[in-house]
Amino acid sequence: MILLAAIFTGCEKKGQAEFELGQAAIVAQDYKTAIMQFALAANKGHVEAQYQIGVCYAEGKGVEWDLAEAVKWYRKAAEQGHAPAQLNLGLCYYDGNGDSSGLECDAVLHLRSGSYGLIEIKLGGDERIAEGVKNLQALSQKIDSERMNRPAFLMVLTGIGDYAYRRKDGVYIVPIGCLG
């Protein structure tokens, strides 16, 4: 009754009625109806509906399980400041499901100055080190420098070698024994 009053009085937030129908469908475990209602609300800009679509794709409820699609919807909600969507999007990136590029690093070192460095760990020989360097450089180039600073350094931590050095391209190669 309250929902109908809100609709008829014009107080409804865009997509709110569809979102609430989607929530009711979730409670009834009618996930196909839920995703349909959430989509209607999400396309009107309803941030919580966008997040819920991401959850449905991540859990395979009402739709086929699809993490890439979940990431898409989490990102829409996260860009509007939705904290749970930001968390879930971050977890997808942490698990390597945030994008299809396959680019990631093994560690991010945050410095007190606010800068950071990207680190790859490659315990093999020169081929593995070269692979780590290539990956770090590709990842560094993909960073949107209008939204965040570029890394202060790139480093490959390796299991071989007697000394650390900086390559001509600026990437540090550090044998684990030098961390002593």
Whose structure tokens read 């990136």?
Answer: 93
* Domains defined for the chain, CATH in brackets: 2-94 (1.25.40.10), 107-179 (no CATH)
Output 109-112 pairs: Cβ under 8 A, ≥24 positions apart: 109/155, 111/152
For each of the chain's 180 residues, which pLDDT tens digit applies?
Answer: 444 444 444 446 889 999 999 999 999 999 999 999 999 999 999 999 999 999 999 899 999 988 888 888 988 998 888 998 888 887 777 665 655 555 678 888 888 888 889 999 988 788 999 999 998 998 888 877 777 788 999 999 998 889 999 999 999 999 998 887
pTM, entire model: 0.52
pLDDT in tens, 56-66: 998 999 999 88
pLDDT in tens, 13-53: 889 999 999 999 999 999 999 999 999 999 999 999 999 99
Alpha-carbon distance of 2 to 17, in angstroms, equals 11
